[in-house]
Structure 1
Amino acid sequence: MAVLKSTRMQKKVNYDAKLSKLLDHYTQILIVGADNVGSNQLQHIRQGLRGDSIVLMGKNTMMKRTIRVHAEKTGNKDILNLIPLLVGNVGLVFTKGDLKEVSDVVAKYKVAAPARVGLIAPIDVVVPPGNTGLDPSQTSFFQVLNIPTKINKGTVEIITPVELIMKGDKVGSSEAALLTKLGRKPFSYGLIVQSVYENGSVFSPEVLDLTEDDLAEKFANGLSEVAAFSLAINYPSLAAAPHLIINSYKNLLSLAVATEYSFKYADKVKDYLKDPSKFKVAAAPVSAGGSSASAAGVEKEQKKEEPEESSEEEGGLMGLFD
């Protein structure tokens, strides 16, 4: 018994030292759910991440204790943000690579699994219509589950698609038996990224899917809201500065137009208002040229058409009197 206790204690000490070392060297951590992930599958994931990422599993109580002790020793209180995330069957993926790429590699290693009795379905399971390949003696399974079938060429055929299991429901014995007979493995399991830790900040994994265009759009929306808020309360800000300058110019221009006061950028506007014909100076030659050209073209066409019409009329008159 003493040997077993010393062995367990040594394992805890080694685990504590390993986790503390990882916390010192890594500032990026993926918190992943590991439900229904076997040791063989986990080994393949470790091999796929080999290079700049390390997967560490363990009991939540041990990980929480090590994080608290390490935070007290180093004074790094940011790592305490990891403790609320250690709930359920989870593990830690320490990485120095791109978080998006590492997350994609983790999600790639999934294994198809049958629907076992008592499992919570992670997705909806729909049985498609078609031939099942089962002989007519197996129709009892379909009758229990209220699945409409017919016998076609000596085999059972499902007539319409059937929602067999809904997401979040427990898998029953009848559903599991039917899916096994159909040879279907509807579920797939692997490490699922639940949260992302980076330099003390914790955020949702959906953030990793944002592109540069998404970030630019969100920044532009935020900037416009800040500018609108600043203008609404008459509080100057960098976002509202262009609008404030334009509005101030408009006010000064209105004052200059209404009074004898003037300044450089108001002189041209006041000249236009005094002599509106100046607005047409630039457009006049073009329009005049265009109208003259079109008029000339019309005149030429008329000149070409007139002799023909006159000759026809003359010819018609001459033929009439002759």
Structure 2
Amino acid sequence: MSAESDRTTGTIPEWKREEVDEIVEFLQRYDSVGVVDVTGIPSRQLQDMRRELHGTAALRISRNTLIALALEEIEEGLEELVEHVAGQVGLIGTNDNPFGLYQQLEASKTPAPINAGETAPDDVVIPGGDTGIDPGPFVGDLQQVGANARIEGGSIKVVEDSTVLSAGEEVSADLSNVLSELGIEPKEVGLDLRSVHSEGVLFAPAELDIDVEAYHADLEAAAAAGHTLSIDAGYPTARTGPVLLSQAAGDAKAVGVSAAVESPSLTDDLVSTADAPAAGRRRRRDGPPDEKHRPGALP
């Protein structure tokens, strides 16, 4: 390390101070800032993720101690993220809302092979069916890891869906090789959001994991219920005003007809109402209009 890089400002080496300053600038640039887990993501794939995020979010990787210093330096609630700065992590910043950020990160995750020694995130299942692999030692490998397999019709077949590892268990070298041979990728690789701070609120991933379509449907149902309630209560708004006026006009017309109020706008209704009893008597006297023309009717 050069003499210049050894210079310190207070108790922090100058290069670290500069790095912290850059992280602080990064944090101040965005409305929403979160901590993401980057464990197990190959560097090439990490670069691809940076490119995919370009324009909507930005990723910053640094030493955990320096990230923590920057978060504590800014305060404004961001220091609450420090407890999530552990292991292989990075910072992510966006001017989008945290719900949009979470959805984007989840959508960007891709299936990946699982290596020996890793922990299975979910149950690992080898599906039943023809593997397309010619008879050979591989049938024994399948049986060794717990799959119900046999040779049938000139190929190796898995008789039924076989759960070969439970979530939380460690993957063996044998199982990793079998899964690789079958092309099974039982894990997802991507940026896991640990927590995000936005507008003074700290969000956990579980709070951001919402069904957007269901949420929209709930909003539409609530709006419809509110609209109906407003009309029933006679509460005028820009949306309910025309409906209330139409109802009031209808009610006023009904009262006017019932009270036989003479008005040009009610003339037709009053005549129709007055003629209704006579029209009924005529129908009873004459029968249906086509009664005389019905086959077999008396002359």
Normalising by the residue count of structure 2, what TM-score does the alignment of the two structures yield?
0.67
1:86-235 to 2 correspondences below 5 Å: 86-132=85-131, 133-205=133-205, 206-207=207-208, 209=210, 211=215, 214=218
Unpaired runs of 5+ residues, structure 2, are 227-232, 234-257, 261-268
1:300 paired residue number: 286
CA deviation string 1:228-273 (max 9, x = no partner): xxxxxxxxxxxxxx8xxxxxxxxxxxxxxxxxxxxxxxxxxxxxxx
- Contact 2:35 / 2:89 at 8 angstroms: preserved in 1? yes
1:19 is displaced (CA, Å) by 1.0
**Distance in 2 between residues matched to 1:208 and 1:144, nearest whole Å:** 38
1:256-275 to 2 correspondences below 5 Å: none
Using a 3 Å threshold, how does the CA distance of structure 1 residues 36 and 310 change in structure 2: closer, same or farther?
closer
- Contact 2:98 / 2:208 at 8 angstroms: preserved in 1? no
Using a 3 Å threshold, how does the CA distance of structure 1 residues 78 and 143 change in structure 2: closer, same or farther?
closer
Normalising by the residue count of structure 1, what TM-score does the alignment of the two structures yield?
0.63
Using a 3 Å threshold, how does the CA distance of structure 1 residues 12 and 310 change in structure 2: closer, same or farther?
closer
Aligned length: 252
2:33 paired residue number: 29
RMSD: 4.0
Q: Give aligned-pair identity as a percent.
A: 23
Using a 3 Å threshold, how does the CA distance of structure 1 residues 20 and 167 change in structure 2: closer, same or farther?
same
- Return the structure number with greater helix share: 1
**Distance in 2 between residues matched to 1:5 and 1:164, nearest whole Å:** 53
**Distance in 1 between residues matched to 2:292 and 2:155, nearest whole Å:** 88
The farther-off stretch of 188-197 and 160-169 is: 160-169
3-state SS in 1 of match to 2:66: helix
CA deviation string 1:165-201 (max 9, x = no partner): 3332222233222212223222220102232211321
Q: Which amino acid aligns with 1:107?
A: E
1:288 is displaced (CA, Å) by 8.0
Q: Which amino acid aligns with 1:299?
A: R
**Distance in 2 between residues matched to 1:175 and 1:295, nearest whole Å:** 91
Bigger-Rg structure (1/2)? 1
- Contact 1:141 / 1:174 at 8 angstroms: preserved in 2? yes
1:292 is displaced (CA, Å) by 4.8
3-state SS in 2 of match to 1:6: coil
1:62 paired residue number: 66
- Contact 2:31 / 2:96 at 8 angstroms: preserved in 1? no
CA deviation string 1:95-143 (max 9, x = no partner): 2245444444433443432121121112333222211114233222232
Unpaired runs of 5+ residues, structure 1, are 224-241, 243-279, 312-322
